[in-house]
Homo-oligomer: A and B are copies of this chain.
Amino acid sequence: MSGQRVDAARNRQRVLDAAAHEHARHGSALGMQDVARRAGVGIGTVYRHFPSRQALIEAIATPFFERGLALARSVREEAPEGERFAVYVREFARALATSGVDGQCRWDAPAAEPVRSELRELIGEFVSSGRESGALRGDVTAEDAFALLWTVAALVEAADAAAPEIWRRHIELVLDSLRDGPPRALEAAPVERAQWDDFVRAARVAATDDPASAA
């Protein structure tokens, strides 16, 4: 892997760049032919570096996973013990909403295992420190927190950038369910019916497919 020819390394990078560009436009529906053309290489070359479309997509997604992990690390450094999990969920959602990743390159991709594993550690820490400092209910587990992260990801993904109000409010609501003590008044503004309709519409389009637009 280290002893590869310089031109090979250069091409690999070109493909990666081209793929990122295509992915930004067409989501995970990107075409291999298009990637090859944009990278200025043959399709064979694309397949030399990434054995399948799926592998290519995962390769693009990797930086995103790493950013998610880096985010968790910085939350551990900077947020007060009791608030870490809540802060992370909010930041995670924001990152996801702006990242443009979609279902095909979820964080459950096999290649992301080490990242996910470390993230699990961190979430576990957040939960236990939250419990110890009395901010989280005593019966909440790391797995609960993970499940919550999972559902938040699904909601954000469906809403995309279309309707951040939806997931912002929902996050506050469910974070409340983990909090120790009586529920607080929601700070987020209630979601209007019209916003909700936009959300559903956007999710529908995303589910159907994305013939997307140009730019």
Contacts and interface: CB of A to CB of B under 8 A. Distances in A.
A54 interface: yes
B183 A177 contact: yes
Interface in A102-132: 103-104, 106, 108-110, 116
| Contact-residue size bin, chain A (C-beta under 8 Å from the other chain) | 35 or more
Nearest to A206: B108
Interface string A172-184: 0110111011110
A54 B109 CA distance: 26
Interface in A54-111: 54, 103-104, 106, 108-110
Interface centre among A151, A167, A190, A207 (most CB of B within 10 A): A151
A139 interface: yes
9 contacts: A104-B207, A108-B203, A109-B207, A139-B185, A143-B196, A144-B170, A148-B173, A177-B177, A183-B183
A10 interface: no
Contact of A155 (B154, B186, B196): B154
Contact of A166 (B147, B191, B196, B208): B147
